[in-house]
Structure 1
Amino acid sequence: MRNLILSAVFATAGLIGGLAQAAEPEAGKQYVELSNPVPVSKPGKIEVVELFWYGCPHCYQFEPTITPWAKKLPDDVNFVRVPAMFGGVWNVHGQLFIALEAMGVEAKVHDAVFAAIHKEGKKLADEDEMADFLADQGVDKEAFLKTFNSFGVKSQMEKDKKLAMAYQITGVPTMVVNGKYRFDLGTAGGPEQTLKLADFLIEKERAAR
């Protein structure tokens, strides 16, 4: 009887150990390791990129999870949002985001833009509609229109398009850690698991220094 109990204990311990070992994320399963790493924007820091689109419902649903997480990241981690631009309204919304960043007001109106599209049914698909909406949020209308159509914003759009191509993304939301590891809600297993995976890869990069 004692031997049976011990066998059961060892079997259970072995099963738990096996599950714990299997739980560690693996390249090719929960994430993809890019064959050509992409340079980070701030050398010396571990970069976490979220590629998103204002019109994406999954990105909107991910916001309440990723935003508080990003605010608590340590000083050696640089969190960056990059708009994915696959043409059409994707590009217009990407231009909107970049213009808001250039004006230094993106953090102030980011949630409002998402809510306008997904809760209020606004398209925000042309610059006049955007300018009118942003004016209600306290953003100077003329300053926005000038920035939206500026050379600097259009140049940044081209850079972000090339960045998304280098990351080889096919949809959003997608995350990339340190220009090396790409994953999304589907491969990671959900919003919370996505951020746990990000934490794992951040620590992996930190340990490799």
Structure 2
Amino acid sequence: MRNLIFSAALATASLFTALVAAPLQAADIQAGKQYVELNSPVPVAQPGKIEVVELFWYGCPHCFQFEPTLNPWIAKLPEDVNFVRIPALFGGLWNVHGQLFIALESMKVEQKVHDAIFHAIHKEGKKLSTPDEMAEFLATQGIDKDAFLKAYNSFAVKGQMEKAKKLAMAYQITGVPVMVVNGKYRFDIGSAGGPEQALEVADFLIAKERAAQ
């Protein structure tokens, strides 16, 4: 498991090594270059909508750096696109933070505290490595401690953890942040050429899927 986590960390660290590139042209976006097509498509959460998944980890500095670029893009997505965040679960603290995310999502408060959690970890030096530490921090954000702890330890959340693990395996991810469009196309910031370029690839693949409907 230690080797797996180490490999995932190396893959994650490589995603931001690409130099800042010029905006991509649609004609330049190709399978095998900016993105890969999965051999076996993965079912989407909401059939009838084009799904965009981001796999992430709260402890990932590159995921944190991607947020200011990603969030305004999410806010402007059209009605036929469903954006989904899924925590990557490579063991250890990855799983702890993934359970935090899923618990908050089950409480329907994750969007309220998503940015605050990233900021606490990467700017305030908080590890948020135990349920009690999480609950204390979340209380400062207006989240009831007992309600959070109940959700965190619930069977429903543990079931969603297993689902997230299976999805990550189906997407064949090795690091984060990674994006998947409509369960068919996987890409990351490194392969796309940068954060902005990754979203251009996402837009291209969304249009590709929309045209195919």
Deviation at 1:193, TM superposition (A): 0.1
Q: Distance in 1 between matches of 2:117 and 2:203?
A: 28
1:157 to 132, 157, 161: 161
Structure 1 length-normalised TM: 0.89
What is residue 6 of structure 2 aligned with on the other side? none
CA distance in 2, matches of 1:38, 1:144: 31
The one-letter amino acid of 2:85's match is R
User: Cα deviations across residues 148-203 of structure 1 (Å, max 9, x unaligned)?
Assistant: 00000000000000000000000000000000000000000000000000000000
Identity of aligned pairs, percent? 78
Moved more, 137-146 or 21-30: 21-30
Q: CA offsets per residue over residues 24-67 of structure 1, 9 Å max, x none? A: 21111100000000000000000000000000000000001101
What is the one-letter code of the residue matched to 2:83?
F
Equivalent residue, structure 2, for 1:169: 173
**CA separation in 1, counterparts of 2:62 and 2:209?**
27
- Count of paired positions: 190
Secondary structure of 2:29's counterpart equals coil
Rate the CA distance shift 1:151–1:21 in 2: closer, same or farther, 3 A: closer
**Residue 21 of structure 1: CA displacement?**
7.5
Match of 2:14 in 1: none
Distance between the aligned counterparts of 1:115 and 1:89, measured in 2?
17
Q: Are 2:113 and 1:109 equivalent residues in the alignment?
A: yes
How far 1:87 moved relative to its partner? 0.1
1:37 aligns with 2:41: yes
Counterpart in the other structure of 1:13: none
Please tell me whether the aligned partners of residues 64 and 118 of structure 2 are also in contact (alpha carbons under 8 angstroms).
Answer: yes
State the Cα distance separating 1:82 from its structure 2 match.
0.3
SS in 2 for 1:30: coil
**Structural RMSD (CA):** 1.1
Structure 2: state its 5+ residue gaps: 1-23
Q: Which residue of 1 aligns with 2:79?
A: 75
Does structure 1 residue 199 correspond to structure 2 residue 210? no
- TM-superposed CA distance for 1:74, in Å, is 0.3
The two structures have a TM-score, normalised by structure 2, of: 0.88
1:51 to 37, 43, 55: 55
Q: 1:149 to 1:22 in 2, by over 3 A?
A: closer
Secondary structure, in 3 states, of the residue corresponding to 2:100? helix
Q: Which residue number in structure 1 is paired with residue 12 of structure 2? A: none
> Matched residue of 1:172: which SS?
coil
What amino acid maps onto 1:101 in structure 2?
E
Which contiguous aligned blocks of 4+ residues in structure 1 show a shift greater than 6 angstroms?
Answer: none
Deviation at 1:71?
A: 1.1
The one-letter amino acid paired with 2:61 is P
State the secondary structure of the residue aligned to 1:41.
coil
Instruction: Classify the secondary structure of the residue corresponding to 2:176.
Output: coil
Q: Which residue of 1 aligns with 2:97?
A: 93
| Letter in structure 1 aligned against 2:184 | K
